[in-house]
Structure 1
Amino acid sequence: MVPAYDFWLLDLDGTLIDVEWAYTREVFDAVGDRLGRPFSDREAEVLWHGLSGSRDRQLEAWGIEPTAFWKAFHAEEDPLVRAEQTYLHPDAAFVADLDGPVGLVTHCQRFLAEPVIDGLDIGDWFDTVVCCTEETGWKPDPAPVESAMADLGVADGSRGVLAGDGSNDVGAAWNAGLDAIHVERVGHDRRGRCVLGDYRVESFDELAAD
């Protein structure tokens, strides 16, 4: 059965949902045109899924100024088109049946997250949604996780967990004193490394089988 926790926090992109590859490729083509620097399929995949950890550090390693990249990236993302191209992972349905408070902590910006959540009709799964910003902090910083916990009214001593698809999610969970579930959606071979967690699964269905 799913491990018993007093509250659950979850990442969004790559954890509960994903987008069709054609949309990702189209966005990176447009961003590349804006920056005068094309992105290979591998580079697009690494950035979209955060396979190397910090996206800003990865951009800098490639000689790309992060602020300029994100300005171009967000200018090219159309919330309605992204919502249409987004699908829910079937194993994510367990979230609807969780007992206790449930929150979302995502790097996806609110102008994109809200249409996606509405389009998939999963808004009632969550008691709070925290979209990371410069003000809230970015995972693995525990600040956005702690903000979500405050929104949920989590009592001291409550046992909680954060589930996500990246090392930043695991780091944020541990930094906030929570357990971490890592769900590996892309595979260790494509990621290029293993991500540790208190639970390591390829599907949330595996938790129910424990």
Structure 2
Amino acid sequence: MVSEYDFWLLDLDGTLVDVEWSYTREVFDRVGDRLGRGFTDREAEILWHGLTGSRDHQLLEWGVDPDAFWTAFHEEEDPLVRAEQTYLHDDAAFVANLDEPVGLVTHCQEFLCEPVLDNLGIRDWFDARLCCTEETGWKPDPDPVQSVMHDLGVAHNGHRGVLAGDGSCDVGAAWNAGLDAIHVERFGHDRRGRCVLGDYRVQSFDELY
């Protein structure tokens, strides 16, 4: 089905790459110290991977102010250390072989994303990329997706595209932008606590061939 599409959009964290657990645990320990509220392994996993959907909604449910959390979180992240602790999923290699235009739409902030792309040597996989901000909007908002489609030159011209990601927000963004959605499940429904639907549901991109 890879050849069915005229262009591809992809999420980054949890979809193409992941970070060693030791890094995630250390960051949440430091953030917890700042906020005076510790995070269990399960809570850290939920927030890092967005397993329950909106991270802000989850924080509010736990009684944690999202603005305070993200300020502390971004101040405690070290871009170079994170890049060194980030690894590429084996099944992500298919992206390098795509002949169609490829775009990246990620919630990973630019100051973190850029060192990761360089360290893994995958910058040239993407013809356009966007790191979401308050100004661009966040997935499942279609605006950041449509922005990258515009940069790729595939907006409003009848091209058939797909967005692949590991979260429900990726599926929502794809559908809201009129694209097909591929959900890659890196955890399993039991650990996620829910089933994420998509036009395609896979555990590995290898299943697409």
- Shared fold per TM-score greater than 0.5: yes
Unpaired runs of 5+ residues, structure 2, are none
Deviation of 1:100 after TM superposition, in Å, equals: 1.5
Partner of 2:10: 10
Q: Distance in 1 between matches of 2:3 and 2:126?
A: 18
Q: CA deviation digits over 1:155-194, x for unaligned, max 9?
A: 5111000000000000000000000000000111100011
Partner of 2:20: 20
Q: Match of 1:161, SS?
A: strand
Q: Please, which moves more after superposition, 152-161 or 53-62?
A: 152-161
Percentage of identical aligned residues: 81
The letter for the 1-side match of 2:64 is I
Q: Match of 1:39, SS?
A: coil
Partner of 1:204: 205
The letter for the 1-side match of 2:162 is V
- Contact 1:181–1:197 (CA under 8 A) maintained in structure 2: yes
Q: Match of 2:44, SS?
A: helix
Deviation of 1:22 after TM superposition, in Å, equals: 0.3
Alignment of 1:96-135 (within 5 A): 96-135=96-135
Deviation of 1:2 after TM superposition, in Å, equals: 2.5
The letter for the 2-side match of 1:99 is D
Q: Distance in 2 between matches of 1:106 and 1:137?
A: 11
Partner of 2:53: 53
Q: Does 1:39 align with 2:39?
A: yes
Q: Does 1:154 align with 2:171?
A: no
Unpaired runs of 5+ residues, structure 1, are none
The letter for the 1-side match of 2:120 is L
- Contact 1:104–1:128 (CA under 8 A) maintained in structure 2: yes
Q: CA deviation digits over 1:25-68, x for unaligned, max 9?
A: 00000000000000000000000000000000000000111010
Q: Does 1:195 align with 2:181?
A: no
The letter for the 2-side match of 1:95 is V
Alignment of 1:133-152 (within 5 A): 133-152=133-152
- Contact 1:139–1:168 (CA under 8 A) maintained in structure 2: yes
How has the CA–CA distance of structure 1 residues 49 and 190 changed in structure 2, closer, same or farther, with 3 Å as cutoff?
Answer: same
Partner of 1:82: 82
Return structure 1 stretches of 4+ with deviation > 3 angstroms: none
Q: Distance in 1 between matches of 2:166 and 2:91?
A: 13
- Contact 1:3–1:207 (CA under 8 A) maintained in structure 2: no
Q: Distance in 1 between matches of 2:204 and 2:183?
A: 10
Q: Distance in 2 between matches of 1:4 and 1:204?
A: 15
Aligned length: 208
Partner of 1:181: 182
Q: Does 1:71 align with 2:110?
A: no
Deviation of 1:99 after TM superposition, in Å, equals: 1.3
Q: Distance in 2 between matches of 1:66 and 1:127?
A: 33
Q: Match of 1:46, SS?
A: helix
TM-score (norm 2): 0.98
Q: Distance in 2 between matches of 1:53 and 1:147?
A: 22
The letter for the 1-side match of 2:203 is E
How has the CA–CA distance of structure 1 residues 3 and 53 changed in structure 2, closer, same or farther, with 3 Å as cutoff?
Answer: farther
Q: Distance in 2 between matches of 1:64 and 1:196?
A: 29
TM-score (norm 1): 0.98
